Amino acid sequence: MGLLAKTRTTMEMIKWEHSIFALPFALTATLLAARGLPSWRTLAWILVAMVTARSCAMAFNRWADADLDAVNPRTRSRAIPAGLLTRRFVLGFTALMALGFIVASAELNRLTLYLAPFALAVLLAYSYMKRITRWSHLVLGFALGIAPAAAWIAVRGSLDPRILVLTAAVTLWVGGFDVLYACQDFEHDRASGLHSLPRAIGIPAAFWAARIMHLSMLALLAWFGHLFNFGVAGWIGVAAAGLLLAYEHSIVSPRDLRRLNAAFFTMNGVIAMVFLAFVATDVWLQR
């Protein structure tokens, strides 16, 4: 395989376009921490850290799950099971992205560098959680949820406890939609001995668990807005996130999972970007 083709396959493997899930929440924290835009240097290294961390986690997940993916009809066409990329190449790419994340963390400040190994441990640990617990969805949520706290530290060099409310909100948001996404692997998880909430409590109950997580996420966003004294634009962003989540849940049901990819990928990207846009507007208006 040529370099261009291998690069294209690697980008498809890590789903780089789905960086949009956590990135807008990290940028929300960046704007709030800086009370506007930080320096271009800080912003650039935050973006590098976000992209390399997520790429590292996704590549490692594909490496760790290669054997499981090979026997799952939904995932057997992924790069390693399909023979498009070797395990050695994917592991090397994982190490390269981890190094990039460490470098970006070092360029931000001392605390981000000290915390970088712990962040990587959380990101990589998720890949094994579904082998041991039904709550792997929340581990994935936390892996993305630490992005706002990390961005705050990148700007301020210290942690404000208020930003942890956004970490909790993102954790429940991601955990909820991962519960929904796992419903399509119900039979595979049961046959392979993997753990998930749908497998443990059934698909209808899993839908209710996801709804509870997302309602809790909205309550946390409201608390977050109160802590940071949101103006009208910020509160519109919270309301818009709630309406979009309601729509997301309306297009899928335990009996019809056909539109799950639209709910999982398209709507969640829209939710994150809409929330960022309104908070950014709020920050600008209050300057």
pLDDT of residue 69: 83
pLDDT band, residue 85 (cuts 50/70/90): confident
Residue of 67, 52, 68, 69 lying closest to 14 (CA atoms): 52
Q: What is the pLDDT of residue 258?
A: 75
How many folded domains does the chain comprise? 1
Query: What is the reported pLDDT for 17?
Result: 57
| Centroid of chain to Cα 276 | 15
Winning range, highest mean pLDDT, from 219-228, 244-253, 258-267: 219-228
Instruction: Spell out the long-range contacts of 253-260 with Cβ–Cβ below 8 A and sequence spacing 24 or more.
Output: 253/207, 254/183, 254/203, 254/204, 254/206, 254/207, 257/183, 257/184, 260/180, 260/181, 260/183, 260/184
Which CATH number characterizes residue 104's domain? 1.10.357.140
Q: What is the per-residue pLDDT for 5?
A: 67
- In this structure, are residues 150 and 105 in contact, taking their beta carbons and an 8 Å threshold? no
Residue 264 has pLDDT above 80, yes or no: no
Q: Which domain holds residue 109?
A: 3-285
Is this structure's pTM higher than 0.85?
yes
pLDDT in tens, 88-146: 999 999 999 999 999 999 999 999 999 999 999 999 999 999 999 999 999 999 999 99
Q: Residue 109: what pLDDT?
A: 96
| Coil/strand/helix, residue 253 | strand
What is the tens place of the pLDDT at every residue in 156-199?
999 999 999 999 999 999 999 999 988 988 888 888 888 999 99
> What is the residue-averaged pLDDT of the chain?
90
Residue 44 has pLDDT above 90, yes or no: yes
**Quick one: pLDDT at residue 18?**
59
* Maximum average pLDDT range among 13-27, 58-72, 225-239: 225-239
